Amino acid sequence: MPTEEPIAPKTLDLIRAQMSRRGVIAGAGGLGVAGLLAACSTSSPKPTAGGSPSAVADSGSPSAVADTGGTVRWANWTLYLDYESKTKKYPTLEAFQKQSGIKVKYMEDVDDNNSFYGKVQGQLKLGQDIGYDIVTLTDWMATRWIRLGYTQTIDATGIPNKVNILDKLSTVGFDPGRHQSLTWQSGFAGFGWNKQKLPKGIHTIDQLFDPANKGKIEVLSEMRDTMGIILQYQGVDIESNFTEAQFMNGIDFLTKKISDGFIRKVVGNSYKEDLISGDAVAVIGWSGDLFQLNSENNGKFDFALPDSGGTLWSDNMMIPSTSHNRLNAEKVMNYYYEPAVAAQVAAYVNYICPVKGAQAEMEKINPALAKSPYIFPDATALAKAKVFRTLTPAEETTFTTAFQKATGN
């Protein structure tokens, strides 16, 4: 797949100016290919705490119905919401607060799924407030939260814009019918690089680990993305029932690249700072990060899906079982499923937009982005990326332990 032309800085400034001036319309692991194509469930249960309501209630945590008071506290990843550098504010969020009268404390507190879970799991078990009313986590971690009863059921009547979710995302194996979660963004993991240092680009693992890049390569601490790319390079179909032996063969490859000094860090999306500083020249990274960094640094960076295959993932908004502010949290989620608002966010983050109608709204903001296969992917783009299959609990433990041992965590 050809990479996109970089967005010129002046164009980006225009986009952001448009976003800050735009009137906002009122309102707004395991996601396999089979799940993407499944039909949407229309049933809508009554609001209860996710997974295990009685266990949550017995622990003294808030009721599922919850009150409407207080500020909505939202934990998200970095570079994941439209941001105005001059005002140091988020235009769509500012518009929502002005329109609704609801305050939102937006925190870029998620750098890695495991580390974030480790920070809050003790409080979740005890039914104590974790300090967030919305958390944004990747499919496989969302699976864990829902399975353990750490989420609240979202009320479809409180999120009427839920109907705008793309059909391909409307039901998933970990949350049939989307009663516990809503997709925030989806995206690809692949190769990112500094075009000034590597003008020929990177399209294969062999090019990534070229001796000239030794010591200046970083890979993701998200096991499914880093290992998914390595396994596909080794000829493994990551959506199939590949074996433990095949996975461990990939671990051996990763371990040697680390021990030989090719990989300087295994990180969350903090790799972006190392690309900017020049400490890293090439990464296994995420599409939206690289496009945003490119447009903010005079076309210095680029992204491509590996010839042997990248990965496809989604991050999901969920309301923790310990939140007392479900109703207002639902209003925030509903707002961001308004197509005009979703388009504004997508114009900034450049990830796959999950909202129907956003592509038409993007035409009003930037026609070139409306045609982007990385924001509104077609079959050709999706064919170059696969979803890491759902692991059994035993596999999850074995594979994660092996990955953490290899990466020194």
Angle between helices 339-349 and 287-296 (to 10 degrees): 70
Long-range Cβ contacts of 17-21 (<8 Å, 24+ apart): 18/365, 19/82, 19/84, 19/91, 19/92, 19/344, 19/347, 19/348, 19/365, 20/84, 20/87, 20/91
pLDDT tens column, 187-215: 999 999 999 999 999 999 999 999 999 99
Cα separation, 38 vs 255, in Å, equals 37
Residue type for position 302: D
For residue 3, pLDDT beyond 60: no
pLDDT tens column, 214-224: 999 999 999 99
DSSP assignment letter at 184? E
Instruction: Determine what percent of the chain is predicted with pLDDT higher than 70.
Output: 83
**pLDDT for position 183:** 97
pLDDT tens column, 34-59: 233 222 222 233 333 333 332 333 33
How far is CA 350 from its chain centroid? 11
* 5-19, 21-35, 118-132, 384-398, range with greatest mean pLDDT: 118-132
Residue type for position 406: A
Residue for token digits 């266990």? Answer: 55
**pLDDT for position 168:** 81
Beta strands at 182-194 and 310-318: parallel, antiparallel or unpaired: antiparallel
Q: Strand (E) positions, 155-201?
A: 182-194
In this prediction, residue 69 has a pLDDT band, given cuts at 50, 70 and 90, of low
Residue for token digits 């799924």? Answer: 113
Instruction: Determine what percent of the chain is predicted with pLDDT higher than 90.
Output: 70
Give CA angle at 288 (285, 290), nearest 5°: 55
Beta strands at 301-304 and 182-194: parallel, antiparallel or unpaired: antiparallel
Cα separation, 297 vs 273, in Å, equals 12
Nearest to 7 by CA among 284, 278, 385, 362: 362
Lowest mean pLDDT of 9-23, 51-65, 70-84, 294-308, name the range: 9-23
Nearest to 351 by CA among 168, 170, 186: 186
**pLDDT for position 171:** 85
What value does the mean pLDDT take over residues 294-316? 94
pLDDT tens column, 128-176: 999 999 999 999 999 999 999 999 999 989 999 999 999 888 988 889 8
Under 8 Å between Cβ of 216 and 279:
yes
Under 8 Å between Cβ of 113 and 268:
no
Cα separation, 354 vs 173, in Å, equals 17
Cα separation, 320 vs 55, in Å, equals 14
pLDDT tens column, 235-271: 999 988 999 999 999 999 999 999 999 999 999 888 9
Beta strands at 301-304 and 385-386: parallel, antiparallel or unpaired: unpaired
Domains in the chain, start-ordered, CATH in brackets? 42-185+315-367 (3.40.190.10)
Mean pLDDT of all residues belonging to the chain: 84
User: In 3-state terms, the chain is what percent helix, strand and coil (to 5)?
Assistant: 40, 15, 40
Q: Got the DSSP string for 192-259? A: EEETTT-TT---SHHHHT-GGGTT-EEEES-HHHHHHHHHHHTT--TTS---HHHHHHHHHHHHHHHH
Helix (H) or strand (E) holding 98: helix 91-100
